[in-house]
Amino acid sequence: MARRRQIYEGKAKILYEGPEPGTIIQYFKDDATAFNAQKKGQIAGKGVLNNRISEHIFSSLATIGVPTHFIRRLNMREQLVRQAEIIPIEVVVRNVAAGTLCKRLGLEEGVQLPRTIIEYYYKDDALGDPLIADEHIACFGWASQDEMNDIADMAIRINDFMCGMFAGIGIKLVDFKLEFGRVWDGDFSRVILADEISPDSCRLWDVKTNRKLDKDRFRQDLGEVGEAYQEVARRLGLLNPEDGEEAGAVLDLDEHRKKRDK
């Protein structure tokens, strides 16, 4: 494969220059980090599964009119996306109390929230992505008021859609994180959904058993992490039934290709 210019390496993905101007290739790694990268590890096959799951969700969101950066999946671990100016805000949507919300406010994990909460965090690893208010966003000019209105509207639509999608396969959408980017058309810009949506960035619980099917299995050393991601992909209909419950032909094929391309 031709050498491509690497633009950025993050915790779970590498970004390469795309084949045409204004495009980027997102490569999904098996690397996992938690607690602001203090805990590091690998989840075999995670990159392949997240690539597929994120493709599925972004494509579905496009069908209901949510603008996204996703163009197409290129192979097992890569997708072609539209280049966007990333807005330095992590948007967290919460339906059920978990994670830092419980820690911060002393809530019991699993309590259904009386209404959906949208929170904003400033994207800065050195500061540990601090929770911020709309006032900070306006004060420091990280996004305009119009952009924030669009972001909040999209976050609610995405939440409504994803709650239904996951409910249909017996999964409760507890919370998730979104990132948005700005794309320019001459002097005008608009906001589109960027990054990824996967069990790395969502809390997903089995409706009947409350079994965690997301990165909390890694964060909390619960084991069977890859299996949980596979379970999500399988329920979404993204793995062939004949792949079985274990590793899955999807992952075997990926290993085979990696060895072949070495």
In the complex, the residues that contact ligand UDP under the rule CB under 6 A are 90, 92, 98-101, 129, 175-177, 201-203, 215
Whose CB is nearest to ligand UDP? 99
| Least distance between ligand UDP and beta carbon 30 (Å) | 17
Nearest residue to 203 via CA among 111, 120, 94: 94
Nearest residue to 197 via CA among 234, 221, 227, 166: 166
The answer to whether 178 and 91 have CB atoms below 8 angstroms apart is: yes
| Least distance between ligand UDP and beta carbon 112 (Å) | 16
**Nearer to ligand UDP (CB atom), residue 129 or residue 147:** 129
| Least distance between ligand UDP and beta carbon 76 (Å) | 22
The answer to whether 97 and 113 have CB atoms below 8 angstroms apart is: yes
**Nearer to ligand UDP (CB atom), residue 52 or residue 217:** 217
**Nearer to ligand UDP (CB atom), residue 92 or residue 250:** 92
| Least distance between ligand UDP and beta carbon 255 (Å) | 27
| Least distance between ligand UDP and beta carbon 196 (Å) | 9
Locate 84 and state its tokens.
């966007």
d(CA 221, CA 228): 13
Q: Which amino acid is at 125?
A: D
**Nearer to ligand UDP (CB atom), residue 32 or residue 84:** 32
Question: Rounded to 5 degrees, what angle do the CA atoms 85, 156, 64 make?
Answer: 80
d(CA 7, CA 9): 7
**Nearer to ligand UDP (CB atom), residue 27 or residue 205:** 205
